[in-house]
Amino acid sequence: MIIDLRSDTVTKPTKGMLNAMLKASVGDDVYKEDPTVNALEERIAEMFGKPKALFFPTGTMANQAAINLHTNPGEQVICDKYAHIYNYEGGGASFNSGVSCKLIDGHRGMFTAQEVIDNINPPEFYHSALTRLVEIENTTNKGGGACWDFSELEKIRKVCDANGLGFHLDGARIWNALVAKKETTKQYGNVFDTISVCLSKGLGCPIGSVLVGDEDIMQGAMRIRKIFGGGMRQVGYLAAAGIYALDHHVERLEEDHHKAKELAKVLNDATFVKKVEPVETNIVIFELQKDVDSEAFISKLDSKGVKLVGMGENKLRLVTHLDYTNKMHTYVLDLLSDF
Ligand SMILES: *Cc1c(COP(=O)(O)O)cnc(C)c1O
């Protein structure tokens, strides 16, 4: 038995999902003639109360398209130093859109409206890059699955309005935040101009992200997706997985969160652990004691059939997901308590 806790992207489609995929009616999506893709886009747009949605192969491409739609070359994006768009998208913001990132030294990947204000370059000061966009992540990936306080997001929205800035949400794990905080998709649609959501993380699809947004910003979305090489054909088979996941795999995220909290509890009591980050959703980040070598620890667990990843600075990450069963969970809890 291999227990893979490296990420919530390691899941394989369930039988139910595969059946839904097989039954999908499809067409050429570049001509917008795929009824299942159209249905998925309409459904997600409706959920967030936005007029437009577009299906993308990856979350990275959806975020990169959003950055491109909001900005012009030479301008600047404000984001946290932990941001996925800055750390894990291959430098795409500068490569694809010619923009720089102004990094906020936030807390667990999150920051305040005041910190946004402090990081806006004065528009009349033509020596510095023109600030154009604020980007945040919910939940935060490198921040350990932390959820934003919604009232802070509303404050940042006001700052964006007052300064003519766009506001983009990287919602790769927005479903986890919604379930954990009992928030609604409409709330988020009201606050952000654009939102990218992943179907291939907690929701268990093999592929797929959707970018939703307002009419004016989304106008160029089809073109930029084409330029990025993301125009796809009979991908209703993939969109069908997304529709299935929205029906069956959202509420159950609560189980992943519960398991993550139980893992954190065992780790908190373990002598080899220095510190466990607070667990709010499905990600557990913990730091080993100084005298415990993280590489050795990872390979020791690997030899017991459990996979996890290092995050640097002697920190490790566990992510719970759809394919992490109760039986596996019992095994891992026992393994960690006796380690
Ligand atoms: C996974 C992830 C993405 C997108 O990843 P893809 O692998 O390109 O789908 C974007 N943002 C965050 C925070 C993520 O965790």
Is 109's pLDDT higher than 90? yes
**Cα gap 56→138, rounded to integer Å:** 19
User: Of ligand 1's atoms, which has the minimum distance to the CA of residue 58?
Assistant: 9
Contact call for residues 134 and 168 (beta carbons, < 8 A) = yes
User: Of ligand 1's atoms, which has the minimum distance to the CA of residue 200?
Assistant: 9
Expressed in angstroms and rounded, the spacing between residue 272 Cα and the centre of ligand 1 is 30
Expressed in angstroms and rounded, the spacing between residue 59 Cα and the centre of ligand 1 is 5
User: Of ligand 1's atoms, which has the minimum distance to the CA of residue 201?
Assistant: 1
Is 339's pLDDT higher than 90? no
Token pair of 26, please? 């499809």
User: Of ligand 1's atoms, which has the minimum distance to the CA of residue 198?
Assistant: 9
Write down the pLDDT at residue 247: 98
Which of the listed residues 11, 80, 88 should we mutate to test ligand 1's pocket, taking the one with most ligand atoms within 8 A of CB?
88
Read off the pLDDT band of 244 (50, 70, 90).
very high
Is 213's pLDDT higher than 90? yes
Q: Where are the beta strands (DSSP E) in 155-213?
A: 166-171, 194-198, 209-213
Which residue, judged by its Cα, is nearest atom 2 of ligand 1?
172
Give the number of other CB atoms < 10 A from CB of residue 267.
Answer: 24
**Cα gap 90→234, rounded to integer Å:** 28
Average pLDDT over residues 51-61: 98
Expressed in angstroms and rounded, the spacing between residue 172 Cα and the centre of ligand 1 is 6
Average pLDDT over residues 87-116: 98
User: Of ligand 1's atoms, which has the minimum distance to the CA of residue 139?
Assistant: 13
Which residue, judged by its Cα, is nearest atom 3 of ligand 1?
59
pLDDT digits (tens, 9 = 90+) for 321-337: 999 999 999 999 999 99
Which residue, judged by its Cα, is nearest atom 6 of ligand 1?
59
Is 1's pLDDT higher than 90? no
Average pLDDT over residues 106-115: 98
Expressed in angstroms and rounded, the spacing between residue 63 Cα and the centre of ligand 1 is 9
Q: Residues 6 or more apart from 271 whose CB is under 8 A from it?
A: 289
Which residue, judged by its Cα, is nearest atom 1 of ligand 1?
172
Mean pLDDT of the chain, nearest integer:
97
**Cα gap 200→12, rounded to integer Å:** 10
**DSSP letters for 247-290:** HHSSTTHHHHHHHHHHHHHHHHH-TTEEEE---SSSEEEEEE-T
Write down the pLDDT at residue 221: 98
**Cα gap 131→269, rounded to integer Å:** 46
Is 135's pLDDT higher than 90? yes
Write down the pLDDT at residue 155: 98
Instruction: Name residues contacting ligand 1 (CB within 6 A).
Output: 58-60, 63, 84, 137, 141, 170, 172, 198, 200-201, 209
**Cα gap 199→11, rounded to integer Å:** 11
pLDDT digits (tens, 9 = 90+) for 141-189: 999 999 999 999 999 999 999 999 999 999 999 999 999 999 999 999 9
Contact call for residues 319 and 200 (beta carbons, < 8 A) = no
Which residue, judged by its Cα, is nearest atom 14 of ligand 1?
172
